[in-house]
Copies of this chain bind each other. A is one copy, B any other.
């Protein structure tokens, strides 16, 4: 299990928080996700043998947000 923090642009409210956390935790291999709305970030705990940062990025972008490198 490892953890990373992704920078997410466009989150403005608690619905955005739920959308991003929900999209991430639905991915198999993602254990926990915690959005910091003010910091425009999401901390993610995941199993790197199961899911990649690319897949997490895609899941967030599918919700309409941008992930910055």
Distance to closest chain B CB from A42 (angstroms): 8
Copies of this chain held together in the complex: 2
Give the dominant DSSP class at A's interface.
strand
Q: Does A16 contact B (CB under 8 A)?
A: no
* A57 → B minimal CB distance (Å): 16
B41 touches A43 (CB 8 A): yes
In the complex, A4→B45 CA distance in Å?
17
Residues in A lying within 8 Å of B, measured CB to CB: 2-5, 32-39, 41-45
Additional 11 contacts, C-beta under 8 A, given A5-B5, A5-B41: A2-B38, A3-B34, A3-B36, A3-B38, A4-B36, A5-B43, A32-B34, A33-B34, A34-B34, A34-B45, A43-B43
